[in-house]
Structure 1
């Protein structure tokens, strides 16, 4: 397949993002709704499962990265894990949304057990997929310009996946049931994953060389100051991504005072606009230093949430949503490029290829950002008197103006300030080494 322009191209690599993100977004959006609202699992048990889920995630992410880095097969380090995960992920996703019919009537114990096991299995396989997929990025794209291009294309595919997972999933489970929705999304996952892997080829030379032991690998990662500051900064910005999505329905109801049927328009104003705007960001940053481009994206994201405070009508909300889309697009495009540069510097210093462990640890830090969002909601609710839809307090409009604009602005300001402490000493951004791209 030498000379095949599709091999290791950004467009084919991005099919992996499309494959994994369609079921992953449907999972994160609807699994609580399925078990709590549809099957009647108690909220306390659902929360307990989520806590166990987070603990499990903290353990399996670094381990997945460590074992991936140490793999040495003729097919590469990452591809064997990715191929092996395809049927397991399909099965795990189906199990999450196919609880046996008798479980809800048999008491909470059986339903909780099914939910917990399915959740942990799904998380374990998803971790292997995300770690190995992400670890391929700095290996496949060895130049600054091609990395920026690949990241822009990848994030465009991610937004398409989010739209499919958000908009198509309700149509499928309302018409065919949750189990069939899982089957259809699972088949799309298999199709796009096979397409991505068919046109992905790892560099055999990177399998060679000394390997770090587990203790040594973690010690080196813990000592990497730029890595930790970069990921902690990103965790605050990542919190904003989840906070905006979850607050949109409340914002529509209490601030814009529009019916639920128009919430989709607000979500679309943000996520649909991101698709062309990632191209704008690629044009902006392709001539910039990667760290400065990332810092600029954080500033733009912070400024973009301000108009949400002034929303009054559906039209105003849509305009504000498009502006947010611009900031979000920049944040989606730039971090993978900086992360790859940090990994390059680590290789220069240690002589070891450790993309897996870095991808795994950064993934855990980023996913833990949900705790910041929960704490922010709790603090603002106490401050304004909002408890629930039944007890919204005296000024729910203020509650959700704060949560959708003021809190994101504060979090992004922290993220932006922290970005100035990311100093990549001796970082010389590699020239593009991928003539075929």
Structure 2
């Protein structure tokens, strides 16, 4: 008899809750912390992200291959995740504990080292946690349900990581906030791993050789179109999260104490809309549901340009919630289909390498986000919190509305390259 909670979508989603609380706090406030609070120049912050992306280009695919080839009595993914838990805690605290009163060179060095360590450990977690999804949940219907539950947990985490974070760091500082979130992460991730039971048959299959594994992955046209489209949309997620504190300060002209209210309005609206997008996927299928979500997301960012004050920001944020929720729910079904088709072809379940390479493509959005931040800053004269320039209002309206609309339009157009005939066979059991 199956143990209660084993491989349940609800207990598996605890891992998403665990990781997304600190990850969302990082993506929303690391720029604000280093650039506006500590005074690091936008150009240096962008340079650090660029250096990291070079490392990430090598790091992620190798992690995926190693994960697929792991054979232990505890599973392929769980040993990696368990080993990464204390490392992630330490790296998250490190990144928000920069020394005060240092020059740009010392602050840049601290940021670069902290970024490389933090993101490398985070990659281990995401590669292995994400690789569990197609293995534990088979078939479009179960995957759509599991994805909806997972994204519901993710929105709760986003809400905590964005709306609650300013309250916490105003109370005990950024380092104190990091200690709290690191501890919460550890407890929730351990609970998740206690309920995960990997497929024993997958561990019996001998892994593909490295060159063959990468060759099969890189020549998969459907995989590339899907992930390139997602990378542009993921850039928007990062831009919205990181730009909202700036947008609130310079465009809406609301005090820092009200930023949590604005963030709560954006992300609370997403939670009930997850159920709507689950229904959309069931009606339209994985491909059309995903494509429709990209289109809705593109239209939803337009009202942010016109918002005035806290009330206008809240109204525009609720509209954004409709588009964001669609992009959070819909990709998982199509990604699972891609992995299933690869298994039919190769006879190996290679979720790790697909999740790693796909994760690198979508995480390259971090570089796009940083470049967008830098270019808009140059265009409108914003340098840092110490030197915001004369057009900070227009800068952050552009960054939070115009740039996301253009990126999502590109994402939707790329998605049209994926024809119905290229779509992996749907499994409805």
**By the TM > 0.5 criterion, same fold?**
yes
Given that residues 151 and 336 in structure 1 are in contact (C-alpha distance below 8 angstroms), is that contact kept between their aligned partners in structure 2? Answer: yes
**Aligned residue for 2:405?**
409
Residues of 1 paired with 2:185 and 2:140: CA distance?
A: 29
Q: Deviations over 1:72-102 (max 9, x none)?
A: 1111111111111122222222333345xxx
Residues of 2 paired with 1:35 and 1:257: CA distance?
A: 21
User: What is the aligned-residue RMSD (CA, Å)?
Assistant: 2.7
The verdict on how the C-alpha distance between 1:402 and 1:417 changes in structure 2, with shifts beyond 3 A counting, is same
- Where 1:320 maps in the other structure, the secondary structure is helix
The verdict on how the C-alpha distance between 1:107 and 1:266 changes in structure 2, with shifts beyond 3 A counting, is closer
**Aligned residue for 2:264?**
268
**Aligned residue for 1:50?**
49
Residues of 2 paired with 1:176 and 1:399: CA distance?
A: 31
Residues of 1 paired with 2:2 and 2:127: CA distance?
A: 28
Structure 2 unaligned residues grouped into runs of 5+? none
The verdict on how the C-alpha distance between 1:350 and 1:70 changes in structure 2, with shifts beyond 3 A counting, is same
The verdict on how the C-alpha distance between 1:61 and 1:182 changes in structure 2, with shifts beyond 3 A counting, is same
Task: Write out aligned runs for 1:280-299 (5 A).
Answer: 280-299=276-295
**Aligned residue for 1:87?**
86
Structure 1 unaligned residues grouped into runs of 5+? 433-437
The verdict on how the C-alpha distance between 1:325 and 1:220 changes in structure 2, with shifts beyond 3 A counting, is same
Q: Deviations over 1:306-356 (max 9, x none)?
A: 333333453333222111101110010001111111111111112222111
The verdict on how the C-alpha distance between 1:392 and 1:12 changes in structure 2, with shifts beyond 3 A counting, is same
Task: Write out aligned runs for 1:10-409 (5 A).
Answer: 10-34=9-33, 46-98=45-97, 113-253=109-249, 255-377=251-373, 385-388=380-383, 390-393=388-391, 398-409=394-405
Given that residues 297 and 326 in structure 2 are in contact (C-alpha distance below 8 angstroms), is that contact kept between their aligned partners in structure 1? Answer: yes
TM superposition score normalised by structure 2: 0.89
- Where 2:269 maps in the other structure, the secondary structure is helix
Residues of 2 paired with 1:322 and 1:27: CA distance?
A: 22
Residues of 1 paired with 2:52 and 2:316: CA distance?
A: 35
- Where 1:422 maps in the other structure, the secondary structure is coil
Work out whether 1:431 is the aligned partner of 2:423: no
Residues of 2 paired with 1:275 and 1:186: CA distance?
A: 24
Residues of 2 paired with 1:426 and 1:43: CA distance?
A: 41
- Where 1:286 maps in the other structure, the secondary structure is helix
Q: Deviations over 1:233-270 (max 9, x none)?
A: 11111122122233434544555444444333332221
The verdict on how the C-alpha distance between 1:253 and 1:191 changes in structure 2, with shifts beyond 3 A counting, is closer
The verdict on how the C-alpha distance between 1:386 and 1:95 changes in structure 2, with shifts beyond 3 A counting, is closer
How many residues were matched structurally? 425
Residues of 2 paired with 1:271 and 1:153: CA distance?
A: 15
Residues of 2 paired with 1:215 and 1:267: CA distance?
A: 45
The verdict on how the C-alpha distance between 1:216 and 1:306 changes in structure 2, with shifts beyond 3 A counting, is same
Given that residues 226 and 342 in structure 1 are in contact (C-alpha distance below 8 angstroms), is that contact kept between their aligned partners in structure 2? Answer: yes
The verdict on how the C-alpha distance between 1:245 and 1:133 changes in structure 2, with shifts beyond 3 A counting, is same
TM superposition shift of 1:162: 1.9
TM superposition shift of 1:297: 0.7
Given that residues 46 and 374 in structure 2 are in contact (C-alpha distance below 8 angstroms), is that contact kept between their aligned partners in structure 1? Answer: no
Given that residues 40 and 104 in structure 1 are in contact (C-alpha distance below 8 angstroms), is that contact kept between their aligned partners in structure 2? Answer: no
TM superposition shift of 1:425: 3.6
TM superposition shift of 1:216: 1.6
TM superposition score normalised by structure 1: 0.88
Residues of 2 paired with 1:314 and 1:277: CA distance?
A: 22
Given that residues 163 and 261 in structure 2 are in contact (C-alpha distance below 8 angstroms), is that contact kept between their aligned partners in structure 1? Answer: no
Given that residues 382 and 395 in structure 2 are in contact (C-alpha distance below 8 angstroms), is that contact kept between their aligned partners in structure 1? Answer: no
Residues of 2 paired with 1:299 and 1:220: CA distance?
A: 31
- Where 1:287 maps in the other structure, the secondary structure is helix
Q: Deviations over 1:390-427 (max 9, x none)?
A: 4234xx65554443333322222221121121246473
The verdict on how the C-alpha distance between 1:420 and 1:265 changes in structure 2, with shifts beyond 3 A counting, is same
**Aligned residue for 1:435?**
none
Given that residues 41 and 104 in structure 1 are in contact (C-alpha distance below 8 angstroms), is that contact kept between their aligned partners in structure 2? Answer: no
Given that residues 20 and 189 in structure 1 are in contact (C-alpha distance below 8 angstroms), is that contact kept between their aligned partners in structure 2? Answer: yes
TM superposition shift of 1:211: 1.6
